[in-house]
Amino acid sequence: MTQAGHRDPRAEAVSALSRVLSGRTRSTDEVHRARGALEPRDAALFQALLLGVLRRRRALEAVLQPLVHRPLDTTPAPLRETLMVLAFQGLFLDRVPSHARLSSAVEVARRLGGEAGARFVNAVGRALEKRLTESDPLQGLAPEARASIPDWIAARVRQADRGPWTDDLWEAFGQPAPSTLRLYPSSEPQAVVLERLRALGITAEPTRFARRGLRVLEGTPLGDPDLVPRRMIPQDEASQLVVESLAPRDEERILDLCAGHGLKTIQVLQEAPGARVVAVDLHEPKLAEARKLATRMGLPRFRTLAMDARDLPGRLPPASFDRVILDAPCTGLGTLVRRPEVRWTRRDRDVTAAAVLQREILATAARMVRPGGRVVYAVCSFTEEEGPGHRQHALACGLEPEPIVADFPFRHPDGTLRPLPWRDGMDGFFIGVFRRVDRDPDPCDSVPGNLLGQ
């Protein structure tokens, strides 16, 4: 506390960085918490600092390391993150005066690391401020380093990109992710909604590809309960396209595997309120949130099962669903602009582990859908192993690819959707549609173990 009842957004950002980088929480959760705990202006600064340091971390390390007489990663976390916040302000925020950012950093260090910590941050901070007046410390830094992309992710970015590639594309990784919402189905024209938002000081425009999406350009509707969640809900444009690809219909039995907090279950029920939906997730608290939101929105009831999706064929009759949506557990690399900590909390080996689990749950989807029924497989990742690499496994499980008909620049020649965050302004996703053609009651029984990931 700097004053009675006042919380310093810089100190709050330092603490949040430690929590996020240790994997104890997500940056999006921290931003949401700050909106309820800080004054609006302080919450905005907190968000800029937290997400900015995560997005520019590699560049900040390159600038700070020569000024610290020991490996930066051995510096106590509170002091290291205090320096990161200070450096970010000096390098990427031009509205914070030099003396203000340095004195604030020293005060934060004093509270977190005592007088010794304050002296350390003061010495490094003064050296940094001196360097900032002499030259641009970022000059000569490789584009992927300035964008703060780890080498192993940079290699996968180049593998996934359909080209042509230019170095300025890296800068997209350092920019804030667009704020996107999904409007609920309504008889009210979208133009009327946009005009109402404009009257509230919120400027938005329709998304280019999702039918009900809105991209916020200025202001935020998140603090107005009459808007969120009553009329719209935050949802990335690529995520909206998953349910649009499912094309749910009334009276159909629809299975949402790995439903999480129910965002797509809600979307299914809004598009097809007469559908009979079953939502499955390993975590009951997430399903409870989904049920609560659906009730609040006046949507029809749906069944939930808190269990491992791989065990579902022993709980419900196989081939009993018309459509199955599988937004599978993944590395989340496609969210590395919106949730930039993914760059630092994931490792290359996580891709292989995720792919094994995805194959097993995809086998469940094939077993649960009826012959002639549709399966939509999606992951918020752009890696080969987590998306197109599952094609052979799907075929072996009796699922035949069904091209998505859409005039999108990120539609792949094989009929799948593969938006990329640095090109398409949305999360990176793989979305593929399959039709069950095998009439065997258990189509994956004959799949070799290596395809099932066993």
Query: Which residues have a catalytic role annotated?
Result: 380
Contact 259, 447 (CB under 8 A): no
Three-class secondary structure of residue 278 per DSSP:
strand
3-state secondary structure of 104: helix
Assess contact for 159 and 333: CB atoms under 8 A: no
Report how far residue 223's alpha carbon sits from residue 202's, in angstroms, rounded to the nearest whole number: 12
Contact present, 256 and 265 (Cβ < 8 Å): yes
* Beta bridge partner(s), residue 294: none
Distance separating alpha carbons of residues 440 and 443, to the nearest angstrom: 5
In 3-state terms the chain splits into helix, strand, coil percentages (rounded to 5) of 50, 15, 35
Cβ contact 135:56 at 8 Å: no
Q: What are phi and psi of 332, to 5 degrees?
A: 70, 15
Helix (H, G, I), strand (E, B) or coil at 432: strand
- 73 Cβ neighbours under 8 A, 6+ residues apart: 80
Separation of alpha carbons 347 and 245, rounded Å: 30
